[in-house]
Structure 1
Amino acid sequence: MLSRFKFCLSIIFVIALLPKNSQAATGNIIHNKTNHTIAITGADGSLKLIIDYTKGCVVKQLFVKGKNKLSPLGIYSGIGSATSLNTASIQVSESKNAITISGIKYGDVDLTITETWLFKLNGNTVDWVINRNYDKNAKPNDMAFPKWNFADMNTWKGGIMDNGGMVWCKYLKAVGDTYGVHTAGVTFWDASSGDGLAIKANAGQGQFAASKYSQGPNGEFTFTQLATTTPLRQRYDQSRFVSQKTDVFAPGQVKKGGMSMHLSLSYVNYFEKYSRGNLPGIDAAAVRELLNTTGRYGVVDNNIVGGNGWTTNWKCLHEPFFAQVGMAINDPNYTRNFSATLNQERDEAMLPDGRVLSRWHNAAGDEIPGTYNPKTGYYEAMWGYTIDSQTGYIINLSEQFDITGDVNWLRTHRESAEKALAWLIKRDANGNGIFEMMNNNIAEHKASDWLDIVWASYENAFVNAQMYEALTLWAECERVMGDSQKSGYYKSVALKLKTAFNKPVEEGGFWSAAKKQYVYWRDNDGSVHGDNLVTPVNFAAIAFGLCDDPKRIEQVLGQIEQRTVAENLFHWPLCFESFKREEVQSGNWPFPKYENGDIFPTWGYLGIRAYVGYDKAIALKYINNILKQYNKDGLSSQRYSRVTQLGQGDDILSGICTSITALYRDIYGIRPKWNRMGIEPNMVASLNGTAFNYTLRGTEYHIALSTNNYRISAKGFNVSANEGFGVAKNGNKLTYYHQNKEEHRLELLSKNGIEIKLNVNRWDNDSVSWKVASTGLYTFKLTGMSPGREYTVAINNKNRVIKATAEGDLQFNHNGPAIFIVK
């Protein structure tokens, strides 16, 4: 007896030492029939739901890492004012890891709804299926399928939606403010704790999901999911955001019979899931938050990815940086949505003659009379024909193609892209290689580009610089699609433009030797305007490669930096001196004010790209300045006052994030191409040790960067070099692209399919040298060599002579690790 007693004591002692949440280690469902409650806890205890069916049926509490996130209203379903909160005859049935609640019935004689809620525990995930039955066809004004009532507007910082956009809770400022979108999945996060709640949502077959976010009457943050048998339309024009109204959607159609919503709830460690990696010298947390808020804010809805954002219901098509933003955000949902956006703009925003309408808005009032289409929301801006919508479409399209790699998708845009370019090419009426705008001179009081209340006219350097970039990028797209003739044509047009652009102003070009800058525009009477050091004009000339003269680059960028430092500005203003009074709309006066001298960080990426080849430290300084500003105010502004450097304007611009997208493109050198992952870094010592993961077309790459030491690794390979490069792996073949260009490649075909470890340490006109550290039999092929030439190939210091083919290929085999030198 004594030994048995001691054994029992030992068991009790061990149980007492077990952690209190040990029961939750495998997850559980506890049904308290007396209290009419059900507790569902995920396997790791991070997520717990309490369901109460005392008087109706409601998820009364939702614990995320031990903290209840719900208001007393909880989570419930409903139609209009009839909800699951008031229903009788609830039945509960239990099975392994699942529980079913049936008998939920509400409504009236006009429309009766019955529901069954099925909860299933799947490890750390709670799956919730709401099966709903309507007793007749209907078109209800509103529904909750279901409605989530979170405690207050500070419960979450925001939510990342599964269309790549985000809801920023602080922008739902007043009771009833509502943002409605045509997607229902979201991940909410708390930026202080890193706790997040992921809600995956799928409506049943043949149904269309949507959701809306609001501030409730008692300060709750509400998230309402909806499902209809036809896509929901907006109630108020094209408005996705409405102020102090919760009925953002028009009534939606539901049919007699069954409908369903499938939800998967899980805890997310936000800091881990959205980690930007190890970024020495950079505030990685600010980068993460800026891209997940300001950067995503420009996603208005499905098929509307822009820069002005959802609170003002605006998208400017004359902005060329949305694909670049997607490259930095690195979310396949954003990428997918932006491709769909370009599809919609091709179909709805392009006129038969190739003109690309410049804007989308929720309602009329900002348009040239007669141009607004209330069915689509696209129109021409009232300030004038902003011609950079032609170039914006092409630049975004070309850069998006490099991200998606989808040649078939590109072909669906080929005709429209060629029409858009042809529309602008035809505007070179005098044949001098510079393309004219729709307005002729400042007396017309009309704009021609993004600076829409500056009367830039006729020959506009800013638009023409973007045209050069568009022509260059599209020429490469034509080559990829197999049309070398058209590719050559666009290159020749670009070359003619570059030559004309760089001529002195006295000879019809844009270079002012007297002012050591590129001027903004020339009227049709030959008068020159905008020699007040307009930064986006001069940055674009350098960033897009029109200006490659080191002396001019130094004169422009040295002058801009000197003057920015002298004023102690955190970022570059649109111009350093005043436009003339007659050159701008009255709202720009007196200087510095608005587009006549204020700070617009939207064009920061052009400045970073321009400076990175001139002085990397300067480029990096302004990147860090933007991150510091984000920590101060969230970059929740249209612009910043030149005088106070405080945020101004209600029209928040997501383009303010572009200095940080340039961090990825132009410092870290993330340069995906349609057939490979590429990096072209411009590192400085303070950033050494940078390492992060980057996902491209479903493959996760690990990027490691230090000065002159760059590495990309993924499943099946590990490649490093001291210059930029591209890499692609298809089956057992690895292709290395020197300097991330098509011309020079090294192909390695592994016979046994093992991981390939490659280091390229030299590639120039004299020799190519690389090392393979992995074992196995390889076939090597160098392309881009001199056709027919004999090369000395040294393998571990043993020489052999190999002759290149007529196509310039050099091919040989080797078994095992080795050092290779080709001369």
Structure 2
Amino acid sequence: MANFMFYRKTNILLCVFTMLFLGYGIAGASTSLINKKDKTLTIKGHNITMVLSYGGSARITSLLVNGRKVISSVDGIFTSVNVGGKTYSSLQLKAAPALIKTKNGFEINGIRYGGANLTITEDWIFTTTGKAVKWRIERKFSEVTKVEETYAPVFNFDSINTWEGAYQGYGGLAWFYLFNEKLCTYGVHTRSSSFWDSKTGNGLNITVEAPGQKVAMKYTRTGDDRLYCGISVSDKDMTFRLDSGTNRRRFIRNSTNVWAPFERSAAKESQTITLSYFDFNEKYGRGKFVGINGGQVSAVLNTIARIGVIDSLHFGGNSWHTPYGPICLHEQYIAQLGLGINDPEYLKGYKSCLDFYRDHAIKPDGRVFSRWAYTDEDMMPGQGNKDGFYEAQWGILMDSNPDFVTNVAELYDMTGDKAWVKKQQPTCEQALNWIIDRDTNGNGLVEMMTDLQSQHKSSDWIDIIWASYENAFVNAKLYHALVNWAAIERQLGNDSKANGYEKFAARLKVSFNKPTSEGGFWDEEKKCYVHWIDKDKTVHGRNMVTPVNFMAIAYGICDNNDRRKLILDGIETQMEQEKLFFWPLAMTTYAPGEGKASQYPFPSYENGDLFLSWGSVAVKAYAEYKPELAVKYVKNVLNQYSKDGLAFQRYSRVKQDGQGDDILSGNSLSIVGLYHAIYGINPLYNRFYLNPHITPELAGTALKCNFRGQRLTIKLDNNRYSVSNEKFKIVSGKDFGFNAKINQLNYFEGNNTQSSLQAITEGPLTLIIKKPGNRQREWVQNISKISGNTISYVAGQLTPDVIYKLIVNGKIIKTLKSSAKGDVSFNTDCSSVSQTILLSDEN
């Protein structure tokens, strides 16, 4: 045995000696391998392997991600500069660089390339840390240089189909499905890009650290159908080349020159590129779906929902892919898209976007510009600013004012960032006050900028229908914004303003619900809310305009159950008759003269076609009344997705085929509505509120959701719902709120904004709510194991100044008197894994 061990050790030493003799080295626990003969360096990290060539060039010729080769070419990854139409790169060096082994990795020093009058000098430093490979590029230009393009580095993936897309650091998406011809190029301002492939589950995250510098990335489908990703670092934000008289176009065709030239100094610059692997299904998986196609749900929310994010400060509903590329600030559902996307980066990015809109898209008097676009062709003459925001040629679309406020309010609910919303407070007040002041006759309904349809100007999202004077569409949106914002004013300690907004909202609601004969919007004959009433009292849009009627129900303006039934049943009857897969903008035609001439004969475009962007509000309108109908249309949209990818602006009424090349992120909103109104996912500023309206076929669904840095599991069964994180869980048969910190769990009864039960404990805890209420409250306390610990409770929202019995497992333990606020405090022990606790003020 001793001889065998000696022989084995000797052979190992001989192998190592041979490798060293041949020019190979082992470093960092076998994380790298040098081949001095071929001048290559193989670097291995967690599921990342790259091969670097450092002879007469400096380049990465191979990149494997989780064992799958994604780059395998001589020009795989390199650095480059284009000056005066000439490209210089690390593919062709002035002299061979030197490879140096360092304590933590390797350096390639003396990478020099350029022309006769310009030399770019670089050092590349590679280290493997944890689960990542870090690549630091130190770079210096020999003189101040105006560059056409500069990339450090460029990634040339083997195929445009190597990855399905790349999520941006601000929550957007470069979706390569939309790179539908060679030389499509998309440029954005981002410091990270997460490439993914749902088929393999592989993901590659590329993050850039460049202190004091700006970072941008460009994606191109090359002439040979590869995918090119170039990283640019500059002193200022990269700008875009002039195109059709503007410099705002992010996506271009038949060209790779998306960025405008800029100047690079001769000072040394440095950036670190971090490459790491992620499991796509683990990071973006949504759980278990029952009764509905979960793969389709995930695909829609992971792609279509994001394509309205044009760049880091430009979020909207229209795709970056379209030639026009508009953002409609008069869309109230952009924040709500974040509920379905469920990516913290989207929420963070949209906060920055809304800050940008606050500072650049709002006039001093509080008027919110309605649009932004790549080009100015849709602009009302003279009604725009240098940042690209403008009033649309069709009219002053006044819903942009309440919609800005709604998006701020709903984003605040999702993030709970009170410091951020406080900075938005003055602007939101100004935006609301501007439109509230349009109520010149004091009836609670704000008036548009036009008085009569004959003026041929629009005032809302349906922009070529001539809605004038008192517009139900805009007033419904205003009501929603006022209710949401009043609650925030109260949270910020401004009860006076909260009261003012609530009073105006109440007055608006009363007038809205009056019959048209009394100046309201309810049409007794047509059994629906009308679109608008002109100043001369003529009534228009009596054709069951679905967004108006859905908003009236979903936003709580219509709380008359008989009216709700008339509207929703009436719509569904006609939907069945026409066999439509989705709700149209209007069930019947607008009257002659109420819209642009091109909208006739019915159905045509905004006069009767199917726009999926109103799916969320429609699903919510049906959810409490007949959730099975809401689910039916969600399934219809998913079925349509399986046929055509929902890659259209709208669907025709006659053939129900896709129309328009402007793909809308709003095509996902029915699926967002599924999450919001059917599954009941409602992130709120101080809790996660669960309010399901599931149908029996959906029972057994178990969703994964991100919430304030936690990964929650939401389980939905018939009359039994639960929310849990890794430590705490609440189970209830009714709607409830959940909030958890390190050692604290809070239960909120129903949609109460104040905690009904707080538990403080170091161990795992499950609360099963048996009987909510303020006079009797019963729950089961489950722990993982018996211990000597105690659980400290505060029960709130009880009847104030009342004696309560504390009963544990049927035994009266003590009596407690509630405080003037209705709170009682007590401890329970952990002597049993399950205990039933009852607080009762009854004998």
TM over 0.5: yes
Answer yes or no: is 1:627 the counterpart of 2:638: yes
Contiguous gaps of at least 5 residues in structure 1: 16-22
1:378 match: 389
Partner amino acid for 1:756? L
Give yes or no for contact 2:396–2:459 (8 Å, CA) kept in 1.
yes
Which deviations, in whole Å up to 9, do the C-alpha atoms of 1:51-88 show, x marking residues without a partner?
22343122112223444323633111010100111012
Aligned counterparts of 1:226 and 1:516: Cα–Cα separation in 2: 59
Give the secondary-structure state (helix, strand or coil) at the position aligned to 1:131. strand
* Partner SS, residue 452 of structure 1: coil
Matched, 1:608 2:608: no
Q: Is the 8 A contact 1:317 1:392 kept in 2?
A: yes
1:305 maps to 315
Which position in structure 2 is the counterpart of 1:68? Answer: 69
Residue of structure 1 aligned with 2:531, choices 520, 524, 534: 520
The 2-side partners of 1:227 and 1:214 are apart by 18
Q: Distance between the aligned counterparts of 1:188 and 1:707, measured in 2?
A: 38
Matched residues in 2 for 1:802 and 1:821: separation? Answer: 9
> Is 1:104 the counterpart of 2:105 in the alignment?
no
TM-score relative to the length of structure 1 = 0.94
The corresponding residue for 1:19 is none
Report the equivalent of 1:242.
Answer: 252
- Give the superposition deviation at 1:25: 13
1:756 maps to 765
In the alignment, structure 1 residue 780 sits paired with structure 2 residue 799: no
Establish whether residue 795 from structure 1 lines up as the match of residue 822 from structure 2.
no
- Report the equivalent of 1:83: 89
Which residue matches 2:780? 771
Trace 1:416-427 onto structure 2 (pairs within 5 A).
416-427=427-438
- 2:678 alignment partner, one of 667, 676, 691: 667
CA distance in 2, matches of 1:450, 1:684: 32
1:101/1:789 CA distance change after superposition, 3 Å: same
Instruction: Report the Cα distance in structure 2 between the residues aligned to 1:610 and 1:110, rounded to whole angstroms.
Output: 68
Q: Offset of 1:297 from its aligned partner?
A: 0.8
Preserved contact between residue 276 and residue 287 of structure 1 (Cα < 8 Å): no
- Amino acid in the other structure paired with 2:173: M
| Contact 1:231/1:252 (8 A) holds in 2 | no
Q: Which residue of 2 aligns with 1:317?
A: 329
Do 1:129 and 1:260's aligned partners in 2 also have CA atoms closer than 8 Å? yes
In structure 1, the residue corresponding to 2:346 is in which secondary structure?
helix
Match in the other structure for 2:818:
804
Alignment of 1:364-375 (within 5 A): 364-374=376-386
Q: What one-letter code is carried by the residue in structure 1 that aligns with 2:465?
A: V
Name the SS for the 1:671 alignment partner: strand
Displacement of 1:659 after TM fit?
A: 1.0
Is the Cα contact below 8 Å between 1:71 and 1:152 reproduced in 2? no
Q: What is the distance in 1 between the residues matched to 2:534 and 2:541? A: 11
Shift of 1:572: 0.9
CA distance 1:716–1:63, change in 2 (3 Å)? closer
Change (3 A) 1:627 1:96: farther
Question: Contact 2:167–2:195 (CA<8 Å) still a contact in 1?
Answer: yes
- Find out whether 1:339 has 2:351 as its counterpart: yes
Preserved contact between residue 28 and residue 105 of structure 2 (Cα < 8 Å): no
Q: Give CA-to-partner distance per residue, 1:159-183, whole Å, 9 cap, x none.
A: 1111100111132233332111111
Query: AA paired with 1:127?
Result: K
Contact 2:185 2:258 in 1 (8 A): yes
CA distance in 2 between counterparts of 1:403 and 1:684 reads: 26
1:675-697: CA deviations, max 9, x gaps?
A: 22221122222222222332222
CA apart distance, 1:646? 1.7
Moved more, 628-637 or 790-799: 790-799
Does 1:815 find its partner at 2:802? no
1:152 aligns with 2:166: no
Using the alignment, how far apart are the partners of 1:733 and 1:50 within structure 2? 49
How big is the shift at 1:524?
0.9
Structure 2 match to 1:53: 54
User: Aligned residue for 1:41?
Assistant: 44
3-state SS of 1:557 partner:
helix
Aligned residue for 1:262, secondary structure, equals strand
Alignment partner, residue 647 of structure 2 = 636
The answer (yes or no) to whether the contact 1:199–1:264 under 8 Å persists in 2 is yes
Q: CA deviation at 1:809?
A: 2.6
Q: State the alpha-carbon separation in 2 of the partners of residues 168 and 586 from structure 1.
A: 37
The AA in structure 2 aligned to 1:763 is P
Say if 1:28 and 1:97, in contact at 8 Å, map to a contact too: no
How far apart in 1 are the matches of 2:472 and 2:253?
40
Mark the CA change 1:470 to 1:29 in structure 2 (over 3 Å): closer, same or farther. Answer: same
Kept in 2: contact 1:29–1:40 (CA 8 A): yes
Question: Could you list the per-position Cα deviations for residues 640-673 of structure 1 after superposition, in whole angstroms to 9, with x for gaps in the alignment?
Answer: 1112222111211111111111121112211111
What SS is found at the alignment partner of 2:647? Answer: coil
| Residue deviations 1:535-585 (CA, integer Å, cap 9, x gap) | 111110000011111111111111111211222221111111111231111
The structural deviation recorded for 1:366 is: 1.1
TM-align CA RMSD? 2.4
Q: Which moved more, 1:540-549 or 1:660-669?
A: 660-669
Q: What secondary structure does 1:401 align onto? A: helix
1:8: how far off? 7.4
1:709 aligns with 2:730: no
Matched AA of 2:373: H
Amino acid at match of 1:325: L
- 1:445 Cα deviation (Å)? 0.8
- SS of corresponding position for 2:614: helix
Task: Say whether residues 1:260 and 2:261 are aligned partners.
Answer: no
Partner of 2:230: 224
Q: State the 1:124 CA deviation.
A: 4.5
* Aligned partner of residue 508 in structure 2, secondary structure: helix
Q: In the alignment, residue 342 of structure 1 is paired with which amino acid? A: L
1:545-560 aligned within 5 A = 545-560=556-571
C-alpha distance after superposition, 1:67-123 (max 9, x if no partner): 432363311101010011101222112346622222211112443101112222335
Contact kept, 8 Å, 2:27 with 2:105, in 1: the verdict is: no
Tell me the residue number matched to 1:285: 295
Residue 20 of structure 1 corresponds to none
CA distance in 2 between partners of 1:285 and 1:572 (Å): 24
- State how far apart, in whole Å, the 2-side matches of 1:735 and 1:785 are: 15
Distance 1:815 1:8 in 2: 61
488-497 or 627-636, larger mean C-alpha shift: 627-636
1:30 paired to 2:42: no
Equivalent position amino acid for 1:638 in 2: Q
Q: 1:162 aligns with which of 157, 160, 169?
A: 169
SS of 2:303's equivalent?
helix
User: Would the aligned equivalents of 1:770 and 1:821 in 2 still touch at CA under 8 Å?
Assistant: no
Q: Distance in 2 between matches of 1:803 and 1:269?
A: 53
Question: Which residue number in structure 2 is paired with residue 359 of structure 1?
Answer: 371
1:71–1:813: structure 2 CA closer, same or farther, 3 Å change rule?
closer
Q: Aligned pair count? A: 807
Which segment drifts farther, 418-427 or 714-723? 714-723
Instruction: Give the secondary structure class of the aligned counterpart of 2:111.
Output: strand
Distance 2:738 2:281 in 1: 29
1:130, 1:586 → 2: CA distance?
Answer: 60
SS of 1:672's partner is: strand
User: Counterpart amino acid of 1:806?
Assistant: A
Preserved CA contact (<8 Å) 1:26 1:123: no
Q: 1: CA distance between counterparts of 2:600 and 2:62?
A: 55
Question: Are residue 93 (structure 1) and residue 100 (structure 2) matched?
Answer: yes
Q: 2:146 aligns with which of 114, 126, 139?
A: 139
Q: Structure 2 counterpart of 1:590, which letter? A: P
Q: Calculate percent identity across the aligned residue pairs.
A: 39
Q: SS where residue 264 of structure 2 aligns?
A: coil
Deviations 1:333-386 (A, max 9, x none): 111110011111111111111111111112222111111213x11111111111
Residue 121 of structure 1 aligns to a residue whose secondary structure is: strand
Aligned to 2:18: none
Distance change >3 Å, CA 671–CA 2, structure 1 → 2: closer
The runs of 5 or more residues in structure 2 that have no matched partner are: 16-25
Alignment of 1:379-394 (within 5 A): 379-394=390-405
